[in-house]
Amino acid sequence: MDTSGSEFLRGTLKTIVLKLLAEQKPPNRGRMYGYEITQAVKERTNGDIVLTFGALYPVLHKLEQEGLLITETEEAEGRLRKYYSLTPQGDETAMQKISDFERFMENMRLLMQSPISLNPGH
């Protein structure tokens, strides 16, 4: 994504992270680690959106401070890995943010359509 798209991404990072975590089911047990999140974003957007760790980790920390995420640290492949999962409040917030974003996207689609002339012939 070019730099002009980064302003759109910045405003939606929380929603993206919450959405990805909300859809995690076993065997992931509802959790992901940072690299997994960045890869999921990259894969789903065919590489158009590359989420950097510098953008991701502040969002994860903020969501944790807000009580929406819990973290678990485990050893994996010889090193410590921090997993993130939603709290019940985080799950609720994810559903609300997804719904709000879908409504926003629909309104943006309406705004971006060619205007219909109310006075044909003018």
Predicted confidence (pLDDT) per residue in 36-56, tens digit: 999 999 999 999 989 999 999
pLDDT of 30:
79
59 inside domain:
yes
Q: What residues contact 81, with CB distance under 8 A and at least 6 apart?
A: 33, 73, 74, 75
- The secondary structure element, H or E, covering residue 8 is helix 3-22
How many domains does the chain divide into? Answer: 1
16 inside domain:
yes
Which pTM value belongs to this model?
Answer: 0.80
pLDDT of 1:
42
pLDDT of 119:
61
End-to-end alpha carbon distance in the chain: 40
Cα four-point dihedral sign 50, 51, 52, 54 = positive
**8 Å CB contact between 40 and 25:** no
Question: Which domain, by its residues, includes 63?
Answer: 3-105
56 inside domain:
yes
CATH code assigned at 7? 1.10.10.10
96 inside domain:
yes
Instruction: List pLDDT tens digits, range 53-107.
Output: 999 999 999 999 999 999 999 998 899 999 999 999 999 999 999 999 999 999 9
Q: What residues contact 14, with CB distance under 8 A and at least 6 apart?
A: 59, 62, 63, 97
48 inside domain:
yes
